Amino acid sequence: MAKIQLLLLDEDHFYAERLAAFIKSSKFEERIQPKLFTKTEYVDRLLETISDFCILLASESFLPECEKYKERLCMLSISNILLADELIDPDVPAVYRFQSLQQLLSRILDFYQDKHRLHSTPSKNTTKIVSLYSAIGNCGKTLSAVHLARELAFRGKKVLFLSLEAPSFAFHLLQGADPQHFSRILYFVKSMPEQLNSKLGMFIKQDLRLGIDFLSPCHLLREAQEMSAEETRHLIEALVAMDSYDFIIIDLEASLHVRISQALKLSDITLWLVLDELNCLHKTKAVMKSFGVQSGIHFVLNKYTGTIQNDFGSADIVLSGYLPYMPEWKTVHSLEPFFTGGIFPDQLMQAFEANQLKGALV
């Protein structure tokens, strides 16, 4: 996710440097790139070289010189006086200098999100939702989801990874996952849904090794179980509305919970993993009946050894892809072996691309 440029035009060098240092040492570093200025002409020179919609935070003494910027960026003033909401100019909102830097930056981002929505020209959102699901556990769903996200990113796609499983093995695969983030996201989903769109960016992290963005997986089973279908829809639609990604890859839980069925309904394509086991066939058929027939579902046989023992046709399962059995993954003691060797991701991408064409997602 591209960082938002925050241009701070302030005569108080001490304060400006303190704010920049705080950004670089906090969670805001993933979202904001600060640049410090003491003269408007320096801002002029920068704006001649960029076209991004950025934030200009200017102290009150610079406001008359900054009027010319109002239409092309999110312009805010930093005030030494705490103003009542009704006294704040909606064209150039003021933020209070002496509040905590955490609160200051959160408020700045709220103003930015509101202004950015008004500034942006309407466009057709092209983000596609791809879910990975299985009717039973131990199908390799989470590893497949992470591998798919990684391979798409390596092919130049912008990818966000979301896990709706709890607890999730993905937590251990993603570098920098925060066990508290999903709880805080759910707080906004449940209690302050009108602020969710402006707050989500604060919780998006980057895994530079995999080349993807992600939301830290849910850490508490109780919180996942309490998610409603409407809350799930709100979260996924808010991520799509960001219009920042080519693909949102969702790792679903092997359950019939409403958050899972809702995610399946919202998915453009679902790779439903199955195993060559009688138990898997029976459960898959039962779950399909429970969910009802949905478009965009493609069955992929995982742990394929070259021969098939069970009659998938008897369960109305048409296989559209095959993923190889990886016996070496059963005895690993670190995460690295999961990401070495090309046969599994190659086969996974073949299955995805074949089904992507069927789903008309290209």
**Are 191 and 327 members of one domain?**
yes
**Are 251 and 343 members of one domain?**
yes
Residue-range definition of the domain harbouring residue 175: 128-358
Tens of pLDDT, residues 235-249: 999 999 988 899 999
Cα of 291 vs its chain's centroid, Å? 26
Tens of pLDDT, residues 277-295: 999 999 999 999 888 767 7
Evaluate if residue 3 carries a pLDDT over 70. yes
**Are 140 and 236 members of one domain?**
yes
Q: Show the tokens assigned to 283.
A: 């459960």
pLDDT of residue 330: 75
Q: Show the tokens assigned to 41.
A: 């002409």
CB 246 within 8 A of CB 330: no
**Are 218 and 349 members of one domain?**
yes
Evaluate if residue 260 carries a pLDDT over 50. yes
Which of 75, 100, 119 is a domain's end point?
A: 119
Please report which confidence band the pLDDT of residue 25 belongs to, taking 50, 70 and 90 as the band edges. very high
Beta strands in 282-337 (DSSP E): 297-304, 319-324
HSE toward the beta carbon, residue 25, CA cutoff 13 A: 7
CATH number, domain containing residue 38: 3.40.50.10850
**Are 49 and 192 members of one domain?**
no
CA 257 → CA 145, 167, 260, 318, distances in Å?
A: 19, 14, 5, 25
Q: Is 256 helix (H, G, I), strand (E, B) or coil?
A: coil
pLDDT of residue 208: 84
DSSP state of 345: H
Rounded Cα distance between 133 and 297, Å, is: 10
pLDDT of residue 360: 41
**Are 17 and 78 members of one domain?**
yes
CA 160 → CA 29, 67, 163, 240, 245, distances in Å?
A: 18, 37, 10, 10, 7
**Are 78 and 203 members of one domain?**
no
Output phi, psi for 112, to 5 deg.
Answer: -60, -45
**Are 80 and 39 members of one domain?**
yes
Domain count of the chain?
Answer: 2
Widest CA span of the chain, in angstroms?
78
Evaluate if residue 36 carries a pLDDT over 90. yes
Evaluate if residue 130 carries a pLDDT over 50. yes
**Are 115 and 132 members of one domain?**
no
CATH number, domain containing residue 293: 3.40.50.300
